[in-house]
């Protein structure tokens, strides 16, 4: 280390260093009355140093600054002997606020009595402005979160109401169809009501999927309610019969071997089967039957839906469960939400949905533990 | 006591006219006497007239001064002998949410399921 600067100390003008230092110096007595301030500080304040002399430090501060000084700064300084980087606002002679950071240190005699308090004052307009900006930004962000939450609640309500208002007229149409069917219709009339039924089923399925998707995007996710008291098979049969009404010309072969109760949400599993069947009927070969196989074995529920036709390419197979995915030949109908929602329903039940495809058949296999959601709710 | 009266008269409360007609058709075909109301207020007028009703069959979501669940609670309070059967396509009610011995059937009902539920009340 070289000490050339130190060696020149003798030439330093300490009085000038005090007066024109790049920070304000305040010297006060034990009571906090100013004994002396430097020119840098008196320049900032816009007061003659002689006028400042005898004033209390706290008299130079804004009202909140004064309170903070008296209740916090002074007592802490007394306790610790020093305090650094305290943000205080001084008031200039023209009433202007001067944001500053203040370091304070007590000078004590050999008996421990305070003989002088020394303050270094740093202009901090920019830094304090920055800090204030940060605080404001935080407040704004918090306000934005609150309003975002309110928005999403509103959207959730909107979706619920929309779903309700869309389903009600469809329920009316279904009832109307049932009433007409008992009126002794002609062959043609029966065909029309059957097709109308199918259209309603499609519309209901689409509404369910869109609402579930919207809810999922809002963070609500798929909600499930466990039904253990009623058997699952009639629910699945009902779905198959509805899908037959949509595609009366296509064969759906079924096999049910549901020996054990399954802790699942019946409406949801019905929706899952409906989505898988809808997919198979739309994309499978029309001249081959669609097969549904539902069974319980080895502590699991397995529902497999398969169709014939050209196999799905491995690359497409991976993306089948993404929302809005509709491979190359998948432009005819639908939003591409059915398989996505089906996989979400599987997940909500602690199960899996996988797809396999080869030259013989394309098969979707849903598997879930029989304990299903009751296990998960523990 | 009146609690054991077999159900022969049903009051159907449903705001969608076609759904109401369908329900009435099913219950009439099964041999029940059926009264109808489009909302809770109409239902209370019918019951207030002293009409003999053994079962209230009501939708849950209804416009008007109260929904089906509130109606069920009120009916249970004023006419405790009347059995309760609620229906909805959106809410699945648990038995604990309903007044004593009330039942729930999910929409859309098939005629078999609905008639079976109604016959279960003795």
Q: Does A165 touch chain B (CB under 8 A)?
A: no
Chain A residues with CB under 8 Å of B23 CB are: 175
Q: Crossing angle, helix A187-217 and helix A266-283, to 10 degrees? A: 110
Query: What's the whole-number mean pLDDT along residues A86-98?
Result: 91
**Are B97 and B115 in contact, with CB atoms under 8 Å apart?**
no
Give the pLDDT of residue A161: 76
Structural domain ending residue among the three candidates A123, A153, A176: A123
Smallest Cβ–Cβ distance between B89 and the set A171, A176, A182 belongs to A171
pLDDT, mean over chain A: 85
A119 and A230 co-located in one domain: no
Structural domain ending residue among the three candidates A90, A123, A156: A123
The Cα of A298 is separated from the nearest Cα of chain B by a number of Å equal to 30
Chain B residues with CB under 8 Å of A196 CB are: none
- Which of A147-151, A335-339, B95-99 is least confident? B95-99
Q: Does A225 touch chain B (CB under 8 A)?
A: yes
Structural domain ending residue among the three candidates A123, A138, A165: A123
pTM over 0.90: no
Confidence of residue A10 (pLDDT cuts 50, 70, 90): low
Confidence of residue A315 (pLDDT cuts 50, 70, 90): confident
The domain spanning residue A362 has which CATH number? Answer: 3.30.565.10
Domains contained in chain A, number: 2
Domain membership of residue A106 as a residue range: 13-123
Which residue in A has a C-alpha nearest to residue B93's C-alpha?
A225
Query: What's the whole-number mean pLDDT along residues A259-263?
Result: 87
The Cα of B16 is separated from the nearest Cα of chain A by a number of Å equal to 6
> B21, B22, B115: best mutation site toward chain A, by most A Cβ within 10 Å?
B22
The domain spanning residue A95 has which CATH number? Answer: 3.30.450.20
pLDDT digits (tens, 9 = 90+) for A176-222: 999 999 888 999 998 889 888 888 888 888 888 888 877 776 555 67
pLDDT digits (tens, 9 = 90+) for A109-125: 888 888 899 999 998 88
Which residue in A has a C-alpha nearest to residue B23's C-alpha?
A175
pLDDT digits (tens, 9 = 90+) for A319-328: 888 887 766 5
DSSP alpha helix (H) spans, chain A: 4-7, 14-20, 39-45, 49-52, 63-68, 74-80, 125-181, 187-217, 233-246, 266-283, 314-319, 338-348, 372-377
Give the pLDDT of residue B1: 41
In a domain, A107, yes or no: yes
Statement: residue A1 has pLDDT above 50: no
In a domain, A39, yes or no: yes
Give the pLDDT of residue A327: 60
Query: What's the whole-number mean pLDDT along residues A356-362?
Result: 92
Chain B residues with CB under 8 Å of A239 CB are: none
- Which of A334-348, A352-366, B6-20, B39-53 is least confident? A334-348
The CATH number that domain B2-119 falls under is 3.40.50.2300
Largest Cα–Cα separation, chain A? 120
Q: What percent of chain A has pLDDT over 70?
A: 91
| Alpha-carbon torsion (A297, A298, A300, A302), positive or negative | negative
> A169, A170, A175, A224: best mutation site toward chain B, by most B Cβ within 10 Å?
A175
CA distance A272 to A239: 10
Give the pLDDT of residue A44: 92
Instruction: Tell me the ipTM for this assembly.
Output: 0.79
b/e A36-55 (16+ beta carbons within 10 angstroms → b):
ebbebbbebbebebeebeee
Look up residue A206 and give its two tokens: 């689409």
Query: What's the whole-number mean pLDDT along residues A136-141?
Result: 91
Chain A residues with CB under 8 Å of B21 CB are: 175, 179
Give the pLDDT of residue B5: 62
Residue owning tokens 């509103």: A154
Largest Cα–Cα separation, chain B? 36
Residue owning tokens 């918090």: A142
In a domain, A232, yes or no: yes
> A164, A167, A171: best mutation site toward chain B, by most B Cβ within 10 Å?
A171
Q: What is the domain partition of chain B in residue ranges?
A: 2-119
In a domain, A174, yes or no: no
pLDDT in single tens digits along all 122 residues of chain B: 445 567 789 999 999 999 999 999 999 999 999 999 999 999 999 999 989 999 999 999 888 889 999 999 999 999 999 999 999 877 767 767 778 778 888 888 888 889 998 998 86
């Amino acid at each position: 280390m070289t000490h050339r600067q130190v060696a020149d100390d003798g030439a330093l003008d300490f009085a000038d260093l005090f007066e024109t230092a790049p920070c304000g110096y305040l010297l006060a007595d034990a009571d906090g009355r100013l004994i002396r301030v430097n020119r840098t500080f008196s320049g900032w304040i816009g007061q003659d140093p002689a006028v400042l002399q005898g004033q209390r430090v706290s008299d130079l501060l804004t009202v909140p600054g004064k309170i903070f000084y008296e209740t916090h700064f002074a007592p802490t300084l007394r306790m610790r002997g020093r305090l650094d980087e305290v943000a205080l606002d001084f008031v200039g002679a023209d009433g202007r606020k001067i944001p500053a950071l203040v370091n304070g240190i007590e000078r004590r005699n050999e008996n421990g009595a305070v003989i002088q308090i020394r303050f270094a004052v740093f202009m901090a307009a920019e830094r304090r402005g920055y800090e204030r900006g940060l605080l404001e930004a935080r407040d704004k962000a918090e306000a934005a979160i609150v309003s975002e939450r309110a928005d999403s609640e509103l959207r959730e309500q909107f979706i619920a109401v929309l779903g309700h208002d869309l389903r009600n007229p469809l329920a009316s149409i279904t009832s109307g169809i049932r009433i007409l069917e008992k009126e002794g219709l002609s062959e043609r009339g029966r065909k029309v009501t059957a097709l109308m039924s199918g259209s309603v089923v499609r519309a209901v399925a689409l509404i369910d999927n869109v609402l579930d998707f919207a809810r999922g995007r809002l963070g609500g996710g798929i909600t499930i309610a466990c039904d253990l008291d009623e058997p699952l098979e009639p629910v699945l049969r009902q779905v198959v019969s509805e899908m037959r009404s949509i595609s009366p010309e296509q064969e759906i072969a079924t096999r049910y071997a549901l020996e054990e109760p399954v802790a699942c949400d019946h409406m949801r599993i019905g929706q899952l089967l409906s989505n898988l069947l809808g997919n198979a009927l739309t994309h499978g070969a029309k001249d081959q039957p669609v097969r549904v196989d539902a069974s319980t074995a080895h502590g699991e529920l397995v529902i497999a839906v398969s169709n014939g036709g050209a196999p799905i390419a491995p690359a497409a197979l991976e993306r089948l469960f993404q929302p809005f995915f509709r491979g190359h030949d998948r432009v005819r109908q639908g939003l591409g939400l059915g398989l996505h929602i089906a996989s979400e329903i599987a997940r909500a039940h602690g199960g899996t949905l996988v797809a396999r495809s080869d030259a013989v058949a394309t098969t979707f296999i849903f598997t879930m533990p029989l304990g299903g959601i009751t296990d998960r709710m523990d | 006591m009146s609690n054991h009266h077999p159900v022969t008269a049903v009051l159907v409360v449903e705001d969608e006219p076609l759904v109401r007609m369908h329900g009435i058709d099913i219950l009439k075909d099964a041999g029940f006497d059926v009264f109808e109301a489009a909302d809770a207020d109409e239902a209370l007028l019918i019951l207030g007239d002293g009409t003999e009703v053994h079962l209230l069959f009501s939708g849950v979501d209804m416009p008007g001064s109260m929904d089906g669940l509130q109606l069920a609670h009120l009916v249970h309070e004023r006419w405790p002998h009347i059995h309760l059967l609620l229906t909805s396509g959106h809410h699945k009610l648990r038995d604990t949410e309903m007044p004593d011995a009330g039942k729930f059937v999910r929409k859309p009902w098939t005629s078999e399921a609905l008639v079976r539920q109604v016959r279960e009340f003795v």
